[in-house]
Amino acid sequence: MQKKLALITGANGGIGGAVSKRFEEAGYDVLKPSSKELNLSDESSIQQWCVNNSNLRPSTIVLCAGINLPESFENQTDSEFRMINQVNLFANIYILRNFAPSMSPDNTPRIVFISSLYASKSRKGRSAYSVSKAGLDALMRSLALEFAEKRILVNSVAPGFVETELTYANNDPNNIKK
């Protein structure tokens, strides 16, 4: 019997690393491309990676990768705003367009987005991040309806503060203590 395959982006980070470990412990083969293999900020890198891996048929896709570059709305550049949304939202769309059509209902297919509480709440300096995560949640709701007839379950998980490098990089000790 062939093992199920899980594709996990961001599997070398805090949440993605923990998710990847759990899938491995559950007996899945886990495909966890590094950021050098799959640069989510670069459309051509995503397209090339998808072409190079087009023969793979994941039964589960967990989209964990994300970036947050806190900056006030007035000071954030268009380039930064685009990059955050490229990595957190559009990269997921490209990946799903390439792999979701080949997910078999016989493999109990699952797609899980790692969103954020900042999709519905925010704080200063998080406008681009909040937009990207709110877009991700809207995409999840739409795909849940569209993929239901293919028996693909689509969900998102919206964690709050999790002890990761990204949390420590984007928060001062007082915010982390709160």
Domain boundaries, the chain: 5-177
pLDDT tens digits, one per residue of 139-165 = 999 999 999 999 999 999 987 665 666
Q: Decide if 135 contacts 92 (C-beta within 8 A).
A: no
**Residue 177 pLDDT level (bands cut at 50, 70, 90):** low
Distance CA 86, CA 91 (A): 6
- Average pLDDT on 3-22 reads 91
pLDDT tens digits, one per residue of 91-104 = 999 999 999 999 98
HSE, side-chain direction, 13 A CA sphere, residue 173: 0
**Residue 171 pLDDT level (bands cut at 50, 70, 90):** low
Class of domain 5-177: alpha beta
The dihedral built from the CA positions of residue 48, 142, 128 and 156, taken in this order, carries a sign that is negative
Q: Is the pTM of this model over 0.85?
A: yes
